[in-house]
């Protein structure tokens, strides 16, 4: 279970007018059950360790004479998502999972990325499974890496969330959950590759596309039964020194929802979230970002623990009360090219800002 706490942002809430009352909504995201409680001055402790790089976000605003940001093609991102989701369920050890790896690999190669794998066997709560993190690398002129990450697999039928649906013959394809981010990351790779043209490297830092595996709980969400792929890759990056090179990791999760409202995640690095928000302001799309504050358990936490600045760009409010999350209702008709466009452009504008440093 990903336990999510949502606090209405005081600036965006009428609550602020009647005092320092914060409405705390605790949502059990597994099955959309929600408990609502009111508290006062509630504070949460971010789980991430302090990264060594801690700039002020405003210092990273691109100068007026900097080249304009690149833009994604939202329709193309949507088509890539649709093609990927058409594979069907992509649970660990399944044929669909193998097809997903092949699809991502071929699209990354078509986008000019060098493809590497981080493969291992994970002893999960539901048994032993092969796990494959896929990393597409586009070389940059600057020394350092900006990582984009998102998981691509779907929950196993053994997970508590899907047991009932599976028993009822329903199929979970994760159009938003694992699908939208895969399509968008592949489109961003396309855009950067176009910018590179015949050059050996893109302007700015290298960009790595990290398609994580085994993010979902195999039975029931806990620190032990979740983010198997990210934990493995973060350990590897810590041991081989890669963690020193990664300037920032932007995690994308469930960002295709037509009703796009990305929450501000308290397990992310504050200055990096500020860079993301300032990017959205420059693009005029800030109404879709950070009206609510959350603390999300996700793939970013293992990387935060090894000192990488992280931002989880997640809309964990999918359908009323998050009702589509981890159900057979998570299908393409709930997504829109526009949402992919908004998030993709903010990611590219965030990369532009990070490249000013």
Find the shortest distance in angstroms from Cβ 112 to Zn ion.
30
Contacts of 64 by beta carbon, 8 Å cutoff, 6+ apart: none
Burial of 129 (0-12, 13-18, 19+ CB in 10 A): buried
In 3D space, the residue among 235, 187, 217, 219 whose CA is nearest the CA of residue 298 turns out to be 217
Q: How far is the CB of 151 from Zn ion (least distance, A)?
A: 8
Beta carbon nearer to Zn ion, 177 or 213: 177
Beta bridge partners of 8: 292
By CB under 5 A, tell whether 257 contacts Zn ion.
no
User: Where in 72-111 is the site for Zn ion (CB under 5 A)?
Assistant: none
Q: Which is nearer to Zn ion, 90 or 352 (CB)?
A: 90
Return the number of the residue (176 or 293) whose C-beta is nearest Zn ion.
Answer: 176
The smaller minimum CB distance to Zn ion, of residues 156 and 191, is found at 156
Helix (H, G, I), strand (E, B) or coil at 121: strand
Q: Least distance from C-beta 217 to Zn ion, angstroms?
A: 8
Count of residues in contact with Zn ion, rule CB under 5 A? 1
Task: Determine contact, residues 325/29, Cβ cutoff 8 Å.
Answer: yes
Residue nearest to Zn ion (CB): 177
Shortest spacing between CB 185 and Zn ion, in angstroms: 16
Question: CB of 267 within 8 A of CB of 301?
Answer: yes
Rounded distance, CA 134 to CA 63, Å? Answer: 34
Contact pattern from residue 171 through residue 190 relative to Zn ion, giving x for each residue in contact according to CB under 5 A and a dash for the rest: ------x-------------
Question: Nearer to Zn ion by C-beta: 260 or 306?
Answer: 260
Kindly state the smallest distance separating residue 57's Cβ from Zn ion, in Å.
29
175, 81 in Cβ contact below 8 A?
Answer: yes
Is the CA virtual torsion 305, 261, 357, 134 positive or negative? positive
- Chain residues in the site for Zn ion (CB under 5 A): 177
């Amino acid at each position: 279970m990903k336990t999510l706490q949502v606090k209405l942002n005081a600036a965006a809430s009428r609550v602020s007018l009647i005092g320092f009352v914060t409405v705390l909504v605790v949502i059990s995201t597994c099955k959309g059950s929600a408990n609502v409680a009111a508290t006062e001055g509630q504070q949460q402790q971010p789980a991430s360790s302090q990264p060594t790089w801690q700039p002020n976000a405003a210092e990273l605003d691109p100068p007026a004479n900097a080249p304009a940001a690149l833009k994604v093609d939202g329709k193309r991102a949507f088509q890539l998502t649709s093609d990927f989701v058409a594979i069907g369920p992509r649970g660990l050890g399944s044929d669909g999972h193998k097809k997903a790896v092949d699809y991502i690999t071929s699209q990354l190669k078509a986008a000019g990325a060098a493809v590497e794998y981080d493969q291992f066997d994970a002893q999960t709560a539901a048994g032993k499974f092969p796990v494959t993190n896929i990393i597409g690398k586009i070389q940059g002129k600057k020394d350092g890496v900006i990582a984009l990450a998102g998981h691509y697999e779907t929950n196993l039928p053994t997970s508590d969330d899907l047991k009932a649906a599976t028993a009822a013959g329903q199929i979970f394809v994760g159009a938003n959950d694992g699908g939208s981010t895969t399509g968008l990351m592949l489109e961003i790779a396309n855009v950067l590759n176009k910018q590179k043209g015949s050059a050996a490297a893109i302007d700015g830092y290298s960009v790595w596309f990290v398609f994580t595996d085994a993010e979902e709980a195999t039975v029931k969400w806990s620190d032990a039964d979740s983010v198997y792929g990210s934990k493995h890759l973060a350990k590897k990056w810590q041991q081989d020194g890669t963690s020193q090179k990664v300037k920032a990791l932007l995690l994308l999760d469930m960002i295709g929802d037509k009703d796009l409202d990305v929450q501000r995640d308290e397990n992310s690095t504050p200055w990096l979230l500020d860079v993301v928000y300032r990017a959205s302001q420059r693009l005029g799309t800030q109404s879709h970002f950070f009206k609510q504050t959350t603390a999300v358990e996700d793939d970013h936490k293992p990387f935060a623990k090894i000192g990488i600045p992280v931002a989880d760009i997640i809309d964990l409010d999918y359908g009323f009360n998050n009702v589509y999350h981890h159900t057979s209702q998570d299908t393409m008709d709930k997504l829109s090219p526009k949402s992919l466009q908004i998030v993709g452009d903010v990611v590219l504008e965030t990369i532009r800002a990070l490249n000013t440093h």
